[in-house]
Structure 1
Amino acid sequence: MDLLRIATAGSVDDGKSTLIGRLLYDTSAVPEDQLDAVEQTSERMGADEVNLALLTDGLRAEREQGITIDVAYRYFATARRKFIIADTPGHVQYTRNMVTGASTANLAVVLVDARVGLTEQSRRHAFLCSLLGVPHLVLAVNKMDLVDYDEAVYRRIRDEFTEFATRLRIPDVTAIPMSALRGDNVVHRSARMPWYEGPPLLHHLEEVHVASDQNLVDLRLPVQYVIRPRTDEHHDYRGYAGQVAAGVVRVGDEVVALPSGMTSRVTAIDGPLGPVEEAFAPMSVTVRLADDIDVSRGDLLARPNNQPRATQDLGAVVCWMDTARLTAGSRLLVKHTTRVVPSIVTSLRYGIDVNTLHRHDTDELGFNGIGRIGLRTTQPLMCDDYRLNRSTGSFILIDPVSKRTVGAGMVRASG
């Protein structure tokens, strides 16, 4: 079975945690002891029924405030597919956590409260999903039970979101009306919305096609660690370990090590369970080469005739996540794949309004601001455009003093 990575998104109290709890509950993916604990907690909180949101909101602060703060990952499977769901926060203060959860997702579920409609945070999260290259998006118009399952309410929100989404780079958008609390159109079709002719959410998640989303053409293998066992039995062993970011590598393939530009041939590939003949994204492997060339952590293996761009000058769209403002001249650490290098912000070209998607001139980016910047690094980075490769096309920005993550960036060759 293949694996689908899902991220939830949307405003506070749109029902993200309840939706995931409903998926887990209705697919019998909740252990009995955990369900018993949630039932007891719900009873202590005075709830009339089981609070399914507690299946994901595990922090005490989350339960006390009724909001999601941390990114909670939940796992379940059906007969057709395995799933990993990231329950991400809706509060604007924790947008950085939402970016973390969505950065590896194949599909994002943006929830909207049917009573409220689209909010700034709904648009922000949909826009971030577009920036992060999430190829599939589901608009979940939730809490339909609170608007008497009114088709007109659903159509108004769907049409407004569709108009907004046409300006985003998301190739596949699907809208589903539902009630996570009552279970309508989550796992089973709802008899209370006969006017909706599409599938329930789980059926859509089982059927959405994601095989073609993976880049299996451009080999990119960032080296995380050089393995040299200090034993007599393996005294000649030298392997380069890392996670394949894109493409396929096979025994016998010619590869180039960057940034040195030296070439060699793959003689063996060692996986977690032993030797393999080929490896592809996102497998973690150790590659052995025919020649004793200089390769170290932070280098990258690619094909000689298909290489990423080696550059010290980056143009990127960044999501700024710190209360201190980002300006031209800011000095930051850039973590790109397995390499960390100092950098300076050389320019701030424009900011982006998340409601209108319009660009505007600005001298700074504030907390949760999004904009296009220029960076110059002290060492070359091997980059692809983010739209080509989400791994080699992304980086995080780190404060050099506090070592806190302050931003996330997507490399853009143009635009």
Structure 2
Amino acid sequence: MPSIILNPKPSALQKPHLNLAVIGHVDNGKSTLTGRLLYETGYVDEKGFKEIEEMAKKMGKEDFAFAWILDRFKEERERGVTIEATHVGFETNKYFLTIIDLPGHRDFIKNMIVGTSQADAAMLVISARPGEFETAIGPQGQGREHLFLAKTMGVNQLIIAVNKMDVVNYDQKRYEQIKAELVKMLKLLGYDPNKVPIIPVSAVKGDNIKSKSSNMPWYNGPTLLEAFDSLEPPQRPVEKPLRLPIQDVFSITGAGTVVVGRVETGVIKPGDKVIVMPPAKVGDVRSLETHHMKLDEAKPGDNIGVNLRGIEKDDVKRGDVLGKVDNPPTVAEEIVARVIILWHPTAIGPGYAPVMHVHTATVPVQITELISKLDPRTGQTIEQKPQFIKQGDVAMVKLKPLKPVVVEKFSEFPALGRFALRDMGRTIAAGQIVEIKPAKVEIK
């Protein structure tokens, strides 16, 4: 079966590269919109798509054809395509965008946190259908939770696609009502609504994706692809020490161990002597690859496969971090962090043990001390050594990882210094690491 999604064109790899997290509540149309973007930008095989369309028509599910592009891709992926297949991308006039962590994972929030921690920008997909929009941004809504997480994980560039406008007959009133609600929520979360395009689209019909829709003459803002081109390229901290959180590890016949991840800081080249922490395994970089192309070096923002010599597949796992031997990533004995409690049914005190999601790592931690409670607006201390903290509080806390984990100070390595705490299937808190007491690690 030919691959449904075509590989990046050589022109794409010459363009500045951005990582885009696609977020939003289930059933608001994330997969359909992503499929439509790939189709509109020429990254979908026409013949393969025609087959999908026919199948969808037969089953009376024509509206699902674009979403099935991704489902078909995921099936291919699960059958073990290639290293880079975890990322799918498309090209605009200005950028090559990689979509992170295809929507629809069973454990979506966990993947969303890992994905968003690597994102330069996020696209929130929100449905205009009555009931769906209200659920998505309600107190329990994933649209609201994803937005909050995106902000906490340091994603400051945002585009909102108000999808399914065809379902509400392209009604301007409905769009204005949704926009007003979204502006309120953006302000609450600390986004500047004037910098967030809110675009009425139909993923199924293609309105306002590539070209202006004649169905919505009342809308005079950018199309979705134009909005992507107005994003700012992120800063690439090449001068900092190398940090590459590992997302996957493969053993490839004839090549040996290959780790996959995104370079967060620093530069990596073939021949470099590297170390993987926490296991403290040392090896050499045999070669680097991205989207089937060999690289002479990789810089921050690049999603790459690193072929390692001297390190076995079983020595490393997702969540470990690759660095240079002369400046190894920090393994934490103890962490001081600023947290905001997003949700908790009662109160949190010392001894509480949630799970920390930080870069690509997932590790149980224990809150060993509540240092102080802060004013959420000013950051000033309002109470020393509080007995407990609850939903809505901002606090300085001491955390002890219950398994070895690499973290860094947020001020030095933002991508390795922001995290979420989860428990009971919900995100309890989001935070930033202020100080670290390093663990003693013996280099093997």
TM over 0.5: yes
Q: Distance in 2 between matches of 1:144 and 1:13?
A: 14
Checking the alignment, whether the CA contact within 8 Å between 2:32 and 2:64 is kept in structure 1 is: no
Paired residues, what number?
349
Checking the alignment, whether the CA contact within 8 Å between 1:316 and 1:374 is kept in structure 2 is: no
Q: Distance in 1 between matches of 2:35 and 2:201?
A: 14
Q: Distance in 2 between matches of 1:275 and 1:4?
A: 18
* Unpaired runs of at least 5, structure 1: 62-70, 225-240, 251-257, 260-267, 288-296, 351-360
Checking the alignment, whether the CA contact within 8 Å between 1:242 and 1:286 is kept in structure 2 is: no
Aligned to 2:210: 187
Aligned to 2:264: 245
**How far 1:130 sits from its partner (Å)?**
0.7
Aligned to 1:167: 188
Amino acid paired to 1:210 = P
Amino acid paired to 1:205 = F
Q: Distance in 1 between matches of 2:158 and 2:324?
A: 32
Larger-gyration structure (1/2): 1
Aligned to 1:101: 115
Structure 1 204/39 Cα, relative in aligned 2: closer, same or farther at 3 Å? same
Question: What pairs up with 1:253-332 in 2 under 5 angstroms?
Answer: 272=288, 280-281=299-300, 282=302, 312-315=334-337, 317=339, 328-330=350-352
Q: Distance in 2 between matches of 1:179 and 1:338?
A: 33
Aligned to 1:65: none
Question: What pairs up with 1:8-407 in 2 under 5 angstroms?
Answer: 8-48=22-62, 51-58=65-72, 73-85=87-99, 86-89=101-104, 94-116=108-130, 117-118=133-134, 119-120=137-138, 121=141, 122-170=143-191, 172-212=195-235, 214-216=236-238, 218-221=240-243, 244-247=263-266, 272=288, 280-281=299-300, 282=302, 312-315=334-337, 317=339, 328-330=350-352, 343-347=365-369, 374-377=398-401, 383-386=407-410, 389-394=413-418
Q: 7-16 or 76-85, which moves further after superposition?
A: 76-85
Higher relative contact order (CA 8 A, sep 6+): 2
* Unpaired runs of at least 5, structure 2: 1-14, 76-84, 247-259, 270-276, 279-283, 309-319, 374-385, 436-444
Q: Distance in 2 between matches of 1:133 and 1:272?
A: 28
Q: Distance in 2 between matches of 1:90 and 1:389?
A: 28
Structure 1 334/43 Cα, relative in aligned 2: closer, same or farther at 3 Å? closer
Q: Distance in 2 between matches of 1:335 and 1:50?
A: 33
CA deviations 1:224-254 (Å, max 9, x no partner) are 8xxxxxxxxxxxxxxxx9975324689xxxx
CA deviations 1:193-220 (Å, max 9, x no partner) are 12222110012213322233x3445434
Q: Distance in 1 between matches of 2:108 and 2:60?
A: 28
Checking the alignment, whether the CA contact within 8 Å between 1:243 and 1:285 is kept in structure 2 is: no
Checking the alignment, whether the CA contact within 8 Å between 2:16 and 2:233 is kept in structure 1 is: no
Q: Distance in 2 between matches of 1:6 and 1:215?
A: 19
Cα RMSD for the two superposed structures: 5.2
TM-score of the pair, normalised by structure 1: 0.63
Checking the alignment, whether the CA contact within 8 Å between 2:244 and 2:321 is kept in structure 1 is: yes
Structure 1 127/408 Cα, relative in aligned 2: closer, same or farther at 3 Å? closer
Q: Distance in 2 between matches of 1:11 and 1:152?
A: 22
Aligned to 1:233: none
Q: Distance in 1 between matches of 2:87 and 2:233?
A: 20
TM-score of the pair, normalised by structure 2: 0.60
Structure 1 191/99 Cα, relative in aligned 2: closer, same or farther at 3 Å? same
Structure 1 34/345 Cα, relative in aligned 2: closer, same or farther at 3 Å? farther
Q: Which structure: greater helix fraction?
A: 2
**How far 1:334 sits from its partner (Å)?**
6.7
Q: 4-13 or 386-395, which moves further after superposition?
A: 386-395
The 3-state SS of whatever aligns with 1:87 is: coil
Structure 1 208/303 Cα, relative in aligned 2: closer, same or farther at 3 Å? farther
Q: 183-192 or 278-287, which moves further after superposition?
A: 278-287
**How far 1:81 sits from its partner (Å)?**
2.4
**How far 1:3 sits from its partner (Å)?**
1.6
Q: 1:7 aligns with which of 21, 33, 36?
A: 21
CA deviations 1:60-93 (Å, max 9, x no partner) are 99xxxxxxxxx974322345322222432399x7
Aligned to 1:262: none
Q: Distance in 1 between matches of 2:334 and 2:114?
A: 25
Amino acid paired to 1:194 = P
Checking the alignment, whether the CA contact within 8 Å between 1:131 and 1:169 is kept in structure 2 is: no
